[in-house]
Structure 1
Amino acid sequence: MNHKYIDLSHEMKDNMIVYPGDPEFILKDITKDSNYSLFEISGSLHTGTHIDAPYHYIKNGKKVNDLSLNTLTGKASVLKTKDDVFNRSIKIEDIEQYKNKELEEIKSMKNIESKDGLEKIIILNTNWYKHWGEEDYFLKNPYISKQLAKFFIENEISGIAIDTCSVDKIGENKIHKKLLKNNIWIVENLNKTDKLVKEKYDSYFIPLNISSEASYIRAFVKE
């Protein structure tokens, strides 16, 4: 059976945009006179679509190669935000699926107690990826509020993937620390999230088998 997939990854290419202060990403063809091609790369592991493991901020936390593939793949809930969410934090009431529900009702929607409950993986769809390549992409991104982070932690989420440059406001790290402390991995810089028209997908966030705090990944879902 042939499956169709939606690729949620940005193309990795020479001189692509990087988070302010990070080293330039270089993809260089170093082929010499030979019958084969050879490239080399240099730059931060937080370039493009990537994953942050707990070790990014948590001393003695898990590195990328400590993350189980079982937690990096599986059913994902797609949470769509309001269209006007930019340059501010994302709260529970900004999630389209929850707009007609009371806060206490939302908080009671545990994974195993409701068919509407959250899966272990969350894809947060803000459509901010459309600003990729613009100056404001890193400066005015939507970011996760303390309230929403707490909600995810209480629902025992395994991982959160978002189509912005960070789960935090630029220059801050408190949401990173809160999530990673609870062993929730973070994927940033998703692409083409407007193609996610269903509320749940089989998802795959595949990093390198690398002993580090982060990794480039291929992120995709089964259509």
Structure 2
Amino acid sequence: MANWIDISQPLTNDIAQFPGDTPFSYSPTFTKEETGSANIGQMTASLHIGTHIDAPFHYDSDGKTVEQLNIDHYIGKAMVIDVSHTNWITADVLQEFEWENVTRVLLHTSLPNNPAYFPDKLPYLDPDIAGFLQEKGVILIGVDIPSVDAPDSKDLETHHALYRNGIHILENVMLDHVNTGHYELIALPLAIHGADGSPVRAVLRPINEEIPS
């Protein structure tokens, strides 16, 4: 059986965060020597640190929060495709790939994976990809960049276009070490009540046969 491939950004105290957002920090609260029984740690972080999902509430105050999401969206067959030849990802670019029986797609872009660095500029995901993906039956898009929109965007046009088309968002996956092809994906968010997003531990396993989507 093929081994699982971790495509998550490690959560370390030097991981990059969105400019102005809450940085990640882990530290021990008590040591085993202090408690007499166990080490106990604490952490603070933005919910959008590292590899994470966006709940609709992130960009729509009437949208679902994390605990209201169907976890089935984050488990199942996924296709990894390489769009690193362009910094402008459109429906025409995606049209070049085979979309039969694809319900989740992960885009390997031109941005190198570097969790300690927040990029000045991201590859652009044109909002027109949303309608295209919906027509193909896609329910989740994953990207190896911090956001499907520019970090300084106020209208979050691509977020909203994906939302209108029923497509869930997974951001900051690590795909530089992953071949294109079909995989089983697990990227479960924490059940944080009322939350607009959640870090995830995202993993892939290569598949050679059809699995339930």
Query: Under TM normalisation by the shorter chain, which class is it?
Result: 0.7 to 0.9
Q: Distance in 2 between matches of 1:26 and 1:177?
A: 31
Structure 1 residues 92 and 196, CA, compared in 2 at 3 Å: closer, same or farther? farther
- C-alpha RMSD of matched pairs (Å): 2.1
Match in the other structure for 1:203: 185
Are the equivalent residues in 2 in contact too, given 1:14–1:28 (CA < 8 A)? Answer: no
State the Cα distance separating 1:118 from its structure 2 match: 5.2
Match in the other structure for 1:165: 146
State the Cα distance separating 1:179 from its structure 2 match: 1.3
**Paired-residue identity, %:** 28
State the Cα distance separating 1:3 from its structure 2 match: 4.2
State the Cα distance separating 1:51 from its structure 2 match: 0.4
- Structure 1 stretches of at least 4 aligned residues deviating more than 3 Å after TM superposition: 92-95
Q: Secondary structure at the match of 1:74?
A: strand
Amino acid of the structure 1 residue aligned with 2:41? F
- What is the CA deviation profile of residues 13-59 of structure 1, one whole-angstrom value per residue up to 9, with x for unaligned ones? 12421011212221111114123111111121000000001111123
Normalized per residue, which structure has more helix?
1
Q: Are 1:221 and 2:201 matched, yes or no?
A: no
Structure 1 residues 126-137: aligned runs within 5 Å: 126-135=109-118, 137=119
Match in the other structure for 1:121: 104
Q: Distance in 2 between matches of 1:148 and 1:203?
A: 21
State the Cα distance separating 1:141 from its structure 2 match: 1.2
Match in the other structure for 1:150: 131
Structure 1 residues 126 and 52, CA, compared in 2 at 3 Å: closer, same or farther? same
Unaligned runs of 5+ in 2: 207-213
TM-score (norm 1): 0.81
Structure 1 residues 36-115: aligned runs within 5 Å: 36-83=38-85, 85-86=86-87, 89-95=88-94, 98=96
Q: Secondary structure at the match of 2:176?
A: helix
Q: Distance in 2 between matches of 1:91 and 1:182?
A: 16
Aligned length: 200
Q: Distance in 2 between matches of 1:31 and 1:129?
A: 37
TM-score (norm 2): 0.84
